[in-house]
Amino acid sequence: MNGAWSSAAVRRAEAELMPQLPPGTLMQRAAAGLAAACARMLKTLRSDQGGQGVYGSTVIVLAGPGDNGGDALYAAARLARRGARVFAVPVMRSRVHPLAAAALTQAGGRLTSEPPPSCDLLLDGILGIGGRPGLPDRAVELLGRIKSRITVAVDVPSGVDVDTGSVPASAVAADHTVTFGVRKPCHVLGAAALLSGRVHLVDIGLSGHLDPHPMVRIAEAGDLVEWWHTPGPDDDKYTRGVAGIAAGSAKYPGAAVLAVSGALAGPTGYVRYAGSAADQVRRRYAEAVCTDTVKEAGRVQAWLVGPGIGADESALSAVRDVLAGAAPAVIDADALTLIGEYPSILAGCEAPVVLTPHDREFERLYGSAPSLDRAGSAAALAKRLNCTVLLKGHHTVVADADGTVWANPTGRPALATAGSGDVLAGLLTSLMASGMDGVRAAVAAAYLHGKAGGIASAGHRTITSTDVARALPLAIGQVLSGGAGQAGS
Ligand SMILES: NC(=O)C1=CN([C@@H]2O[C@H](COP(=O)(O)OP(=O)(O)OC[C@H]3O[C@@H](n4cnc5c(N)ncnc54)[C@H](OP(=O)(O)O)[C@@H]3O)[C@@H](O)[C@H]2O)[C@@H](O)CC1
Ligand SMILES: [K+]
């Protein structure tokens, strides 16, 4: 399974494997993989300048006191042997891995307290999975003055909270992270995921010794292919599932249009709309079947209620009517605020429910904002309300009531645009209506939405929610055909 393991789980696996190997083997495997990754990056970096990759490049290592510094110094020794000019700075006075430092000097690298002002590649070997959040002052000072063309974090960007992905103090911002054995939660959660840059995995033989259950699961295209309900020859528009959308109002008709656009892009064959923006929906989407209220709509296999419905009596009735029914439901936007005010509506609901809060909506439901441990917060809300929770962010997380947490690998800050959540909620509803369970539908919707955002914003284009909705069919096609299945591409 694809996932991220906690530092404690990595330690346990290491402790089991280490005695079976000659001393230092794991560190040498890590250093070899790290040096090879750096060599590839230097080759790409310098190719347009007629450079020769590693030979003649300048590499600066910021070396911390532990094994993370050891990995960096051993890798730098390999680069020095291939002709790189290597300068290593111990960031905590003389506390540095002694054997690795000796290996570097033997290979021609220099240990110094005065590195050059710039380099091709800066190797962050300050702190790894043994690090507490924050950086030593000396590291902050060096990072502030060294100009590097690329920054490569060893195992994790130093300074982040490895197990939660939070960044409560100073931390390294890397272009790439080369990690060992398995990904760690900080590569896929919270602000640390942005600081990790592109993550490269080096196999050091840990996998057979790991707990089978990761701390955080990471969706990949293959999961979506496995979960997808592909229509068969006997299917018709009803058996493919009918999605119901209770969204929009006279004040916010656009929310209805966007939610319907998300639902129409999904796998269901039929979309019903219920609400006071029916005219706008009809005008835009002839295929949607419109009624004024949830009660008047025919049967659906999943409802969305909330985007743009407001907080008046008719909005409250829509939420009550949806949750009184037997169909699974997605509760979004204004409906989340109403649930926060009238929790009893949700308490009586027996159908599976997915809540899709952003941080302020989360606070209305939980009583406090998500903590820096976003995955933990989402799991706590899911457990308390016995629902699935999709907590939005540049790295969205999905948590189930049983404590399972998924990190979405495809999101990007550009998706923080008005109406983007309406499209996501519509798509999620279509996935649930097609028969996917709530957690899988939430994971799949976040993945596809992020991927569509990537397609729409290619070349750094600015995007609107309509652009994201338009890109969904292509994103879905790419994932299902197994092509360009890279997360975030
Ligand atoms: N596990 C594996 O399978 C493999 C692991 N490998 C590598 O080992 C790395 C883990 O190494 P590690 O255990 O030596 O810890 P690491 O992160 O280098 O530093 C701990 C030191 O930092 C200090 N310190 C902590 N926080 C601080 C702060 N905020 N500010 C200042 N100081 C701070 C702390 O000192 P303390 O203050 O606690 O006395 C301690 O001395 C791992 O990430 C990977 O790169 C690979 O070699 C191959 C296999
Ligand atoms: K590091």
User: Which residues lie with the beta carbon below 6 Å from any ligand 1 atom?
Assistant: 10-11, 14, 26-27, 30, 64-69, 71, 127-132, 134, 136, 154-155, 180-181, 204, 206
> Could you tell me if residue 295 is inside a domain?
yes
More confident residue, 245 or 51: 245
**pLDDT tens across 404-450, in order?**
999 999 977 667 677 889 999 999 999 999 999 999 999 999 999 99
The last residue of a domain, from among 187, 214, 241? 214
Residues 189 and 306 in one domain: no
- Pocket perturbation via mutation, ligand 1, pick of 18, 91, 123, 129 by most ligand atoms within 8 A of CB: 129
Q: Residue 483: what pLDDT? A: 55
CATH number reported for the structural domain that contains residue 154 in this entry: 3.40.50.10260
209 is in an annotated binding site: no
Residues 241 and 183 in one domain: no
Nearest CA to ligand 1 atom 45: 68
pLDDT value at 401 more than 80 = yes
394 is in an annotated binding site: yes
275 is in an annotated binding site: no
Residues 262 and 291 in one domain: yes
Residues 194 and 277 in one domain: no
Domain boundaries, position 170: 3-214
**pLDDT tens across 294-343, in order?**
999 989 999 999 999 999 999 999 999 999 999 999 999 999 999 999 99
**pLDDT tens across 154-167, in order?**
999 999 999 999 99
159 is in an annotated binding site: no
Mean pLDDT of 351-359: 96
The last residue of a domain, from among 199, 214, 229? 214
Residues 293 and 199 in one domain: no
Mean pLDDT of 54-67: 96
Residues 306 and 360 in one domain: yes
Q: Which ligand is nearest to the CA of 192?
A: 2
pLDDT value at 486 more than 60 = no
The last residue of a domain, from among 192, 214, 236? 214
CATH number reported for the structural domain that contains residue 253 in this entry: 3.40.1190.20
Mean pLDDT of 248-257: 93
203 is in an annotated binding site: no
Domain count, the chain: 2
Residues 240 and 194 in one domain: no
Q: Which of 49-63, 157-171, 229-243, 341-355 has the lowest mean pLDDT?
A: 229-243
pLDDT value at 458 more than 90 = no
Residues 54 and 189 in one domain: yes
**pLDDT tens across 111-133, in order?**
999 999 999 999 999 999 999 99
Q: How far is the CA of 120 from the centre of ligand 2 (A)?
A: 18
> Could you tell me if residue 485 is inside a domain?
no
Residues 163 and 280 in one domain: no
> Could you tell me if residue 488 is inside a domain?
no
Q: Residue 485: what pLDDT? A: 43
Residues 83 and 191 in one domain: yes
> Could you tell me if residue 489 is inside a domain?
no
Q: How far is the CA of 113 from the centre of ligand 1 (A)?
A: 21
> Could you tell me if residue 430 is inside a domain?
yes
Alpha-carbon distance of 87 to 104, in angstroms, equals 9
> Could you tell me if residue 487 is inside a domain?
no
> Could you tell me if residue 57 is inside a domain?
yes
Q: Which ligand is nearest to the CA of 130?
A: 1
Nearest CA to ligand 1 atom 9: 68
Taking a 5 Å cut-off on Cβ, the residues next to ion ligand 2 are 124, 153-154, 158
